[in-house]
Amino acid sequence: MSSVLMTFDPHPAEVVRPGSHPAQLTTLPRRAELVEALGADVFFVMPFTPEFMKFSPERYVHEILVERLHVAEVVVGENFTFGRKAAGDIDVLREMGARFGFAVDGVSLLAEHAVTFSSTYIRSCVDAGDVAAAAEALGRPHRVEGVVVHGDGRGRGLGFPTANIVPPMYAAIPADGVYAAWFTVLGSGPVEGTVEPGRRYRAAVSVGSNPTFSGRARTVEAFVLDHEADLYGQHVAVDFVERVRGMEKFDSADALIEEMGRDAEKARKILTEAAPN
């Protein structure tokens, strides 16, 4: 018997209420990696279309769970809803299971300190910059992936060359500030410099619009500690561990350089203590 983890793409909210897509905590390829690490046999991505949105609970169970997946047991969270206008719940699913011969297991939601670890809660932590709380709920640091592009080159001029990362649309980006994070080049292509693909490195990451230089565009810029490389065009990942400070506007470039030096040292210390690399 095979285990199948089912998810939807795009997010149902974007189809039900166009323009309301919530911030995305993981990309589909990353979800596939995590599912594989959990030991599931199949990662099933169900296209969430306007037609599928109109499926009644009965049609959903019969066509998807019974005819397509041939389920023997279905495991869902205790607050699971499905079908048109969320008309089906776990009780309806159990009734359908009795009819079609599959078991239903409703799992209690994970909670700690009176806080339920839901995707909404995790998004709120990320949005507030509390990446440590997000990591506690996820069981791993919150990751932002993206492609490194050419920026204005200001970081290199200040002595802190950064990788300017463009994340995918809807990515959940932490609040403006400076963070200690792990930096990884994804894939196996060659990298010119001392950074090796697949290996994680300590980094200080700035999220914001560079207020000291009256910047307007919000960016994610990673300064890889103790290593140099030509990262343009590389697909990279940043795993946020802890917030070092909020975003500030400094009176001069020299004051900013001094603070960036302190940021780098704080990030190095945090990451060394978190998991010596």
Q: Which CATH number fits the domain that encloses residue 76? A: 3.40.50.620
| Residue 276: partners with Cβ closer than 8 Å, 6 or more residues away | none
Quick one: average pLDDT of 33-61?
95
47 pLDDT band, cuts 50/70/90, is very high
| Residue 25: partners with Cβ closer than 8 Å, 6 or more residues away | 119, 122, 123, 126, 138, 142, 172
Query: Does position 277 have pLDDT exceeding 50, yes or no?
Result: no
Query: Does position 154 have pLDDT exceeding 70, yes or no?
Result: no
- The pLDDT of residue 104: 97
Q: 160 vs 202, which has greater pLDDT?
A: 202
Q: Are residues 91 and 216 in the same domain?
A: no
Residue-wise pLDDT for 74-102, tens only, equals: 999 999 999 999 999 999 999 999 999 99
Query: Does position 155 have pLDDT exceeding 80, yes or no?
Result: no
Q: Are residues 100 and 151 in the same domain?
A: no
Q: Are residues 79 and 149 in the same domain?
A: no
CATH number at residue 183: 2.40.30.30
Residue-wise pLDDT for 21-31, tens only, equals: 899 999 999 99
Q: Is position 179 within any domain?
A: yes
- The pLDDT of residue 174: 97
Strand ranges inside 72-129, DSSP E: 73-77, 103-107, 111-112, 115-116
Quick one: average pLDDT of 199-208?
95
Amino acid at 71: V
Tokens of residue 248, six digits: 């500030």
Q: Are residues 106 and 190 in the same domain?
A: no
Q: Is position 58 within any domain?
A: yes
Q: Are 132 and 243 in contact (CB under 8 A)?
A: yes
Query: Does position 190 have pLDDT exceeding 60, yes or no?
Result: yes
Q: Is position 194 within any domain?
A: yes
Q: 113 vs 61, which has greater pLDDT?
A: 61
Q: Are residues 235 and 194 in the same domain?
A: yes
Query: Does position 211 have pLDDT exceeding 70, yes or no?
Result: no
- The pLDDT of residue 76: 96
Quick one: average pLDDT of 66-75?
96
Q: Are residues 159 and 65 in the same domain?
A: no
Quick one: average pLDDT of 102-119?
89
Closest CA to 15 of 50, 47, 55, 45: 50
Q: What are phi and psi of 46, to 5 degrees?
A: -90, 120
Cα(237)–Cα(204) distance, integer angstroms: 13
Q: Is position 126 within any domain?
A: no
Q: Which residues pair with 192 in a beta bridge?
A: 230
Q: Is position 122 within any domain?
A: no
Query: Does position 216 have pLDDT exceeding 90, yes or no?
Result: no
Domain endpoint, select from 63, 94, 111: 111
Show the domain range for 170. 141-274
Give the DSSP letter string of 139-174. Answer: TS-EEEEEEEE---SHHHHTT---EEEEPPTTB-PP
Query: Does position 196 have pLDDT exceeding 80, yes or no?
Result: yes
Amino acid at 76: V
Percent of the chain with pLDDT over 70: 95
Q: Are residues 38 and 95 in the same domain?
A: yes
Query: Does position 153 have pLDDT exceeding 80, yes or no?
Result: no
Q: Is position 121 within any domain?
A: no
Query: Does position 268 have pLDDT exceeding 50, yes or no?
Result: yes
Q: Please name the residue that has the structure tokens 């709920």.
A: 137
Cα(222)–Cα(180) distance, integer angstroms: 10
Q: Are residues 211 and 145 in the same domain?
A: yes
Q: How many domains does the chain have?
A: 2
Q: Are residues 164 and 67 in the same domain?
A: no
Q: Are residues 76 and 157 in the same domain?
A: no
Cα(215)–Cα(204) distance, integer angstroms: 19
Q: Is position 18 within any domain?
A: yes
Q: Are residues 192 and 230 in the same domain?
A: yes
Q: How many helices (H) and strands (E) does the chain have?
A: 9, 14
Query: Does position 68 have pLDDT exceeding 80, yes or no?
Result: yes
β-pairing, 103-107 vs 73-77, is parallel
Q: Are residues 154 and 266 in the same domain?
A: yes
Q: Is position 154 within any domain?
A: yes
Domain endpoint, select from 111, 133, 165: 111
Domain endpoint, select from 60, 89, 111: 111
Cis amide leading into 161 (omega within 30) = no
Beta-carbon count within 10 A of 136 CB: 16
